[in-house]
Structure 1
Amino acid sequence: MKFFKKKKNKEEDNFNDFPPIGGLMVSKMVVDKNIKPGFLYREKRTRPEDSGWRIFTGFESPEYNDDPENIGIYNPSTILKIDPSLKDILLKGVGSVYEREKDDSEWYKVTDFELEDDYMTTHRLTEDWTIEINNLFERTIEEDGTLYYTTGDKSIRLIIWNSEKNKEELYEEQKQDIENRDQTKSKTLDKFEFSDNKASRIGYIIEENNERKTYFVLFGFSIIDKEVIQSAFYFDEKADFDWALNTWKNIKLLPSSLK
């Protein structure tokens, strides 16, 4: 599995083509005093036009941050012109926390900073199924009825469909589809099965790309009699494979369905 290297854009120095992620809440020390950021995190956004990013120099006092006059909302291009090193970080998803020691130091991921919305929650999918997922994921329903969860750099699409077939028939159908899928556009990198006597679970992983990036997709099928949950887990970094696999396993049958 290889990640691609993004091609340079002629206008990237101006950052005019930077993706429209929303506004950034930034300490005015960054803008007014031209002090480069030293700490930033992305929380669950409060409104559609909010990116969720909160950016600080690291020199602010609690009293300074508590004064709304000291915080401004800026376009990404404004902050990137001050500090271009944030270009890739600003595309990281909700829940990301980064820090650096000096202006010329490398950014590193912070793992012990607590975000208010960072906890696991259980959502009911059908009469039979639930999913356990981090509350940082935003949940929407697309026009075609697909259930969509995303943090920005990790996403899940869930489609629930019914059938008159039993579990064994549905399992064999999905197994044959996976075995016979067209490999010309994207090769199957690996296949998975986590079936038990209550539900069948079968899936596979591929690598895809668009104009901006290469990413992975784990497709998982959770099957019982007359019902299939088709799930697709999208993630940019290979390190997030465990997240995708565990979240698929967290699509579980309700106890009442196991009787």
Structure 2
Amino acid sequence: MSDATTLDSSTDSTETGQTKSGFLALVSRMIFEEKLPVRFMYKSVPEHLNDTGWRLFSGYEDEAYLQDEVANLTPVPLEKLYSMDDSLEEKLAFNAGTVWERQPGCDWERIHDFRIPSPSVDVTITNDPEQFNS
């Protein structure tokens, strides 16, 4: 990922503190089943009141694995994640649209060229009142 920067102590306070009520993140089961560290994470818009919007991965998940969210991602309280890896607490305070990655033996780097996935919604727009009555 080419446009990465490392977080420094001058982080703008408007980049953090967005999550007020959520306390859960969706985490790859590989983190727990394979005992792998978190190496990639991003924050999307939360999907419900308990959701922070954070999605955390080991970096070894392939496309097929990621397609089956129900089987392969599990909701985890942020407090549990902090206890597993204390470097996560500072990063998980960031707002939606934030992406972090770390290579083995390196510090977290902020990524700016990753497109955060969003759910696809099938919407039909019409001006025909008859379609609303059927």
Shorter-chain TM-score above 0.5:
yes
Question: What residue identity is the alignment partner of 1:57?
Answer: S
C-alpha displacement of 1:115: 2.5
- CA contact 2:102–2:108 (8 Å) conserved in 1: yes
Q: Out of 89, 96, 99, which is 2:98 matched to? A: 96
Which residue of the partner structure matches residue 153 of structure 1? none
Which residue of the partner structure matches residue 132 of structure 2? none
> Deviations along 1:119-169, whole A, 9 cap, x unmatched?
xxxxxxxxxxxxxxxxxxxxxxxxxxxxxxxxxxxxxxxxxxxxxxxxxxx
How many angstroms apart in 2 are the aligned matches of 1:20 and 1:76? 12
Higher-Rg structure is 1
> Deviations along 1:74-105, whole A, 9 cap, x unmatched?
00121222221111000011110000111x31
C-alpha displacement of 1:116: 4.8
C-alpha displacement of 1:73: 0.2
Which residue of the partner structure matches residue 115 of structure 1? 116
Question: What residue identity is the alignment partner of 1:82?
Answer: M
Question: SS in structure 1 opposite 2:74?
Answer: strand
How many angstroms apart in 1 are the aligned matches of 2:35 and 2:52? 22
1:63 to 2:73 alignment: no
C-alpha displacement of 1:20: 5.8
How many angstroms apart in 2 are the aligned matches of 1:46 and 1:56? 18
Question: SS in structure 2 opposite 1:91?
Answer: coil
Aligned-CA RMSD value: 1.9
How many angstroms apart in 1 are the aligned matches of 2:21 and 2:93? 10
Give aligned-pair identity as a percent.
Answer: 26
Where does structure 1 lack aligned partners over 5 or more consecutive residues?
Answer: 4-18, 118-259
Which residue of the partner structure matches residue 30 of structure 1? 31
Q: Out of 80, 83, 92, which is 1:81 matched to? A: 83
How many residue pairs get aligned? The number is: 100
How many angstroms apart in 2 are the aligned matches of 1:28 and 1:116? 19
How many angstroms apart in 2 are the aligned matches of 1:99 and 1:21? 22
Which residue of the partner structure matches residue 237 of structure 1? none
The answer to which structure has the higher strand fraction is: 1
1:71 and 1:116, CA in 2 relative to 1: closer, same or farther beyond 3 A?
A: closer
Larger RCO (CA under 8 A, 6+ residues apart): 2
How many angstroms apart in 2 are the aligned matches of 1:50 and 1:95? 15
How many angstroms apart in 2 are the aligned matches of 1:27 and 1:52? 14
Following TM superposition, the consecutive aligned residue runs of length 4 or more in structure 1 with deviations greater than 6 angstroms are none
How many angstroms apart in 2 are the aligned matches of 1:31 and 1:81? 13
TM-score scaled by length of structure 1 = 0.36
